[in-house]
């Protein structure tokens, strides 16, 4: 199984256009610190790829990856579709950027699909331009692509819905999911959870079974949003388990057999600075920070 990390930043990217925090100013002064919105590309078959979430940076992310560039035909693209972990704007705004395609698949849970179609009217907006085939993403593993050997399953982690969908539908727990991707020929698997509000028993089992885990690293500690002045809420109050602290995810990941990397970093996270001492702490715990353009092969 082959994956490419297209981006590792939380909503707003790094730097964020209207932010002058130390993380954003540092990224402006040192372009190598810049991070695009969190996303993955997964190869389902030779010359056939799926994007995991469709970020506002989707055009540049495709251009930056040789495997995702069009050809050999003038309008022939290897991008077959996308998989959505939730309905947050920083994970779905890029869908409209693909309107030039002849058509593509979107895999999403039912609440996410309904939010995009009923609240954002995305189907109505894109219908004059392209064809979208919606496929429901469920808890049972199924082949991602009939021509490939990758199975996909959703692991529910939160009922947190985006602001534009407040009051929409039932209070289902599948508004936010982690993705379990498994190569059927080798049994190797990856767990992708860019937004994690609750560490459930099902999620614990998925982590223990995975060979690689890419996990929500939005905030370093629970008080970070309040301390930096970006929110009156804590990290957990915003739907993100922090990395460090008594409720942090680092202590749960330490000692696992899987390779564990953090992604979806907020611009206030000290890990945005490569010289921050928190990187040494992660190294002592056997954990890593994912990087844009990183290639993962399982």
Token digits of residue 174: 């599948």
Give 171's pLDDT tier (boundaries 50, 70, 90): low
Give 170's pLDDT tier (boundaries 50, 70, 90): low
Give 175's pLDDT tier (boundaries 50, 70, 90): very high
pLDDT digits (tens, 9 = 90+) for 74-85: 999 999 999 999
Token digits of residue 216: 């929500």
What pLDDT is recorded for position 173?
82
Parse the chain into domains and list their residue ranges: 2-297
Architecture in CATH of 2-297: 4-Layer Sandwich (3.60)
Q: How far apart, in Å, are the Cα atoms of 41 and each of 1, 5, 22, 178? A: 11, 6, 30, 15
What pLDDT is recorded for position 165?
93
pLDDT at 11 over 80: yes
E-state strands within 53-159: 79-83, 103-108, 131-136, 142-143, 150-158
- Average pLDDT across the chain, whole number: 95
The least confident of 146-155, 160-169, 225-234, 258-267 is 160-169
Cβ–Cβ < 8 Å for 219, 269: yes
pLDDT at 45 over 90: no
Cβ–Cβ < 8 Å for 46, 12: no
pLDDT at 238 over 80: yes
Stretch (H or E) spanning 27:
helix 22-29
pLDDT at 47 over 90: no
Predicted TM-score (pTM) of this structure: 0.96
Give 169's pLDDT tier (boundaries 50, 70, 90): low
pLDDT at 197 over 90: yes
- The DSSP bridge partners found for residue 178 are 155
What pLDDT is recorded for position 166?
87
What pLDDT is recorded for position 167?
79
pLDDT digits (tens, 9 = 90+) for 104-138: 999 999 999 999 999 999 999 999 999 999 999 99
pLDDT at 243 over 70: yes
């Amino acid at each position: 199984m082959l994956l490419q990390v297209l981006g590792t930043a939380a909503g707003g990217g790094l730097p964020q256009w209207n932010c002058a925090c130390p993380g954003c100013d540092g990224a402006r002064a040192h372009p190598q610190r810049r991070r695009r919105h969190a996303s993955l590309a997964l190869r389902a078959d030779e010359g056939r790829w799926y994007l995991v979430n469709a970020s506002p940076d989707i055009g540049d992310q495709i251009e930056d990856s040789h495997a995702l560039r069009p050809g050999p035909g003038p309008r022939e693209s290897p991008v077959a579709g996308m998989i959505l972990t939730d309905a947050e704007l920083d994970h779905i705004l890029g869908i409209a950027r693909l309107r030039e395609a002849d058509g593509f698949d979107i895999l999403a849970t039912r609440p996410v699909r309904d939010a995009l179609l009923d609240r954002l009217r995305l189907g109505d907006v894109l219908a004059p331009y392209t064809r979208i085939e919606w496929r429901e993403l469920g808890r049972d593993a199924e082949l991602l692509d009939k021509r490939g050997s990758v199975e996909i399953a959703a692991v529910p982690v939160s009922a947190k819905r985006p602001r534009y969908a407040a009051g929409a539908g039932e209070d289902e727990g599948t508004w936010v999911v982690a993705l379990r991707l498994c190569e059927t020929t080798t049994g190797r698997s990856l767990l992708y959870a860019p937004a994690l509000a609750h560490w459930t028993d099902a999620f614990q089992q998925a982590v223990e079974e995975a060979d690689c885990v890419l996990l929500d690293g939005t905030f370093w500690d629970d008080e970070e949003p309040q301390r930096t002045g970006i929110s009156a809420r804590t990290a957990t109050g915003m739907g993100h388990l922090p990395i460090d602290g008594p409720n942090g995810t680092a202590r749960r990941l330490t000692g696992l057999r899987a390779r564990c990397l953090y992604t979806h970093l907020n611009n206030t996270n000290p890990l945005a600075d490569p010289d921050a001492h928190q990187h040494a702490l992660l190294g002592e715990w056997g954990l890593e920070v994912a990087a844009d353009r990183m290639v993962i092969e399982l």
